[in-house]
Chain A
Amino acid sequence: MNGSPTEDPIRLEGFGPRDLYQRREKIFTRYIGGIFQKLRFFTGWPLLTGYFLLPWLNWGERQAVLFDLPAREFHILGLTFWPQDLWLLGWLLIIAAFGLFTVTTLVGRLWCGYTCPQTVWTAIFMWVEQVTEGPRHQRVRLEQSPWTIEKLRKRTFKHAMWLGWAFLTGFTFVGYFTPVRELAVDFFTLDIAGWAGLWTLFFTLATYINAGWLREQVCIYMCPYARFQSAMFDKDTLIVSYDAIRGEPRGSRKRTAAAHELGDCVDCQLCVQVCPTGIDIRNGLQYECIGCAHCIDACAQVMDKMDYAPGLIRYTTEHELSGGQTRWFRLRSMGYGAAVVLMTCLFTAAVFLRIPFEVDVLRERGELYQHVAGNQIANQYRLRVLNKSQHAARLSLSLDSSLPLQALGVTHIDAAAGELLDIPLELTAPVDSIRVPNTEVRIQICEVDSDLCVSEVTRFLGPIE
């Protein structure tokens, strides 16, 4: 595609020897409405609302979603996860990755264009720009104008709103890790100190810099997903594309011009001006394209004004562009989809069949065995019992061994919610019952109310005559 050099004064390419360290060219996006922008709006707000309100929900006595890092307890509604359950998180991330793969092979960069926080927050910040500094041409003029009171006022207002929104974002994020109600009181009474304050400041600044200043630089230079997804594209993946066959040769014309030699592209540059990553979609598929469909909506408006059919720039596939049909059911996407469904089922089963207790048995290190009163042999152990559930539990102890073992003093264990107990345990057996120096013992801990059990194998040592 050999498009003429763009005439947009803001994006002029340099040629010849140049700085290896490239200045970021500021992109001034033009506001555009349209069906895909509405779609983003109506899918985005429920997600945003969820993000901002979730920490305020309570579950019983406690915040419904709280990742308590100092205590190493991760509460999600009625479930509490412990570091021992980290494999579940790994599982979840793998499912999320495969979900992303499935979506990407089918519909391309849907995540980037609609749901990625970088896109959503950038869109919000751009809206703030629109409100405080006016539409695109005014912002370009403001950028080039010398500092005046007016410019200072507009800029101050913009950055204040950016920072305000960034603070809400950072505060909410920290609210997932520390009780948000206490945090809010601390902030209102200006009694904020320590890590919570520092992390709020960090996430506020990170949001402000990412969505206000870095924007498309994150997608182009930092995001690994933007780069590796091309491995998942095929000729049937949905992409945002300009229909060159229909559009070329491009050129401006009068709206009333009836017959001409030109294609449908009127070369109005709107698709370039609305692009948040500053590319010209007419140059074909580029790695910078995040699939946000701003150019589709912009072009649709122009086509409508010109009384042309819409879809000069549209969601399409390489197959369709070259005159073929899109094949929706492909081995690769169906394979990814099947993997997601299967793993989600297994994950759900793993979460709900999880036994919320753990036991570890440590043999006493001081002595192998002891002769004790009553002609008995004693072995000492230390049980570490962890109650990972959200309720107090009464646990019973039972032994499975070929020896007539007795557990002295331990009949049941009462463990409060989330409690880790060290239980000294002495097992005894009559000397004359011991035939071999080393016998296997299975120590089983069962919850009395639920019959859920966990067990651990250890050894009982004795003398040989």
Chain B
Amino acid sequence: MSNIWHWFVIAGTIGSLVWFLWLLFANRQTSGDETTGHTSDGIDEFDNPLPAWWVGLFVLSIVFALGYLAYYPGLGNVPGTGGWTSTGQLEREQSAHDARFAGLYADLASLDQPALHSDRLARQVGRRLFINHCSTCHGVTGRGSAGFPDLTDDEWIWGAGFENVKSAILRGRTAIMPPWGPAIGEDGVADVTQTVLKMAGRQHDSAAAARGETHYKTVCIACHGLTGEGSAILGAPDLTNDIWLYGGSVEAIATGIRDGRTGMMPSQADLLTEDKAHVLAGYVTSLQSARAAAQ
């Protein structure tokens, strides 16, 4: 708050307190007339005395206000002697909340993966955590969307398994597919696209696919491997199945090759404790089998 408003608030607050006190003092006696002189519809307004205890309450509330203003921040930018801040209160409430549920999470974190999948409470807590922390990108059912992996299928770009998922949650992932358009040219992009379609077992132009093979063996092979099986260590997707993170159309694949892709799973370590990530990883790894069972 700027200096002018700072003093405006102080003057307004203290000024009105003083004014209230003066009002109480100045009105301590009546004229002795029975009415105030106001008449409405033939009804006179009586000048009846106010109970003294009521006036006492007014004075008490002014005393309270002074104490409040001394302790809490109320007068412009003056912080108050109590050191209260809204941030501080939020942090206190958060830590109280964390302390309250720490035991619950510690219990759940002692469960192994099969137990996490079968325990009703673990599943419920995991689902809540998922909805709060993951569903913005991966969707409430874990289906994902373009650029955000589907967690209910059997492709795990950074490796399958509980520990990999937990590690992804806590440390995040950054995947980079470099842009190859400048290096291999537009024709090269079209050819490599056909090569990739061939690897996926989809309809393709075999002549173009064969031409693209040269480019593939020069640049793509380093990450995606000789047969397009991908690499979990580098986060390079398997190209031999029909699961496409950025869409499976020919244009989408060509765009990926030409312009590259950057995938970013942010680390949740600042938001989730290790115990919570454990429960969450249990829930995420259960999605695939739950879907398989439903189908």
Contacts and interface: CB of A to CB of B under 8 A. Distances in A.
B60 interface: no
B143 interface: yes
Interface string A4-43: 0000000000011111111110000000000000000000
A16 B31 CA distance: 8
B49 A18 contact: yes
Interface string B31-54: 110000000000000010111111
B131 A382 contact: yes
B141 interface: yes
A422 B32 contact: no
Interface stretch (B9-17, B66-74, B196-204, B287-295): B287-295
A425 interface: yes
B55 interface: yes
A408 B55 CA distance: 68
Contacts of A214: 53
B53 A408 contact: no
A422 B30 CA distance: 66
A422 B128 contact: yes
B143 A21 contact: no
Contacts of A21: 28, 49-52, 54-55
Interface string B128-168: 10010001110111110110100000000000000000000
Interface string A379-392: 01110000000000
Contacts of B295: 408
Given A382-B140, A422-B131, A22 B291 contact: no
- Contact-residue size bin, chain B (C-beta under 8 Å from the other chain): 20 to 34
Contact of B49 (A16, A19, A364, A409): A19
A422 B127 contact: yes
B52 A380 contact: no
Interface stretch (A188-196, A304-312, A366-374): A366-374
Contacts of A20: 27-30, 47, 49-50
A372 B153 CA distance: 11
A409 B51 contact: no
B124 interface: yes
Contacts of A267: none
A53 B12 CA distance: 52
A16 B32 contact: yes
A426 interface: yes
A233 B44 CA distance: 21
B30 A409 contact: no
Interface in B277-295: 290-291, 293-295
Contacts of B32: 15-18
Interface string A187-209: 00000000000000000000000
Contacts of B294: 408-409
A221 B31 CA distance: 22
A124 to B, nearest CB: 22
A17 B29 CA distance: 7
A259 B50 CA distance: 47
Nearest to A365: B136
B92 to A, nearest CB: 15
A58 interface: no
Contact of A24 (B28, B53, B128, B293): B53
Interface string A213-226: 01001000100000
Contact of A370 (B29, B128, B140, B145): B145
Contacts of B51: 21-22, 24, 217, 221
Contacts of B47: 20
Contacts of A378: 143
A380 B140 contact: yes
A424 interface: yes
Interface in A393-425: 408-409, 421-422, 424-425
Contacts of B141: 364, 380, 424-426
Contacts of A372: 143
Interface string A347-385: 000000000000000001111001010000010111000
Contacts of B55: 21
Interface centre among A214, A408, A421 (most CB of B within 10 A): A408
A372 B51 CA distance: 76
A365 B128 CA distance: 17
Contacts of A24: 51-53
B50 A424 contact: no
14 contacts: A16-B32, A18-B30, A19-B30, A19-B52, A20-B30, A20-B50, A24-B52, A24-B53, A364-B139, A364-B140, A366-B135, A382-B131, A382-B140, A424-B140
Interface of A: 15-24, 214, 217, 221, 364-367, 370, 372, 378, 380-382, 408-409, 421-422, 424-426
Which 3 A-B pairs give the minimum distances between C-beta atoms?
A22-B49, A409-B294, A17-B32
Interface of B: 27-32, 47, 49-55, 124, 127-128, 131, 135-137, 139-143, 145-146, 148, 290-291, 293-295
Given A19-B30, A366-B137, 9 more contacts: A20-B27, A21-B49, A22-B52, A367-B146, A372-B143, A380-B140, A424-B141, A425-B141, A426-B143
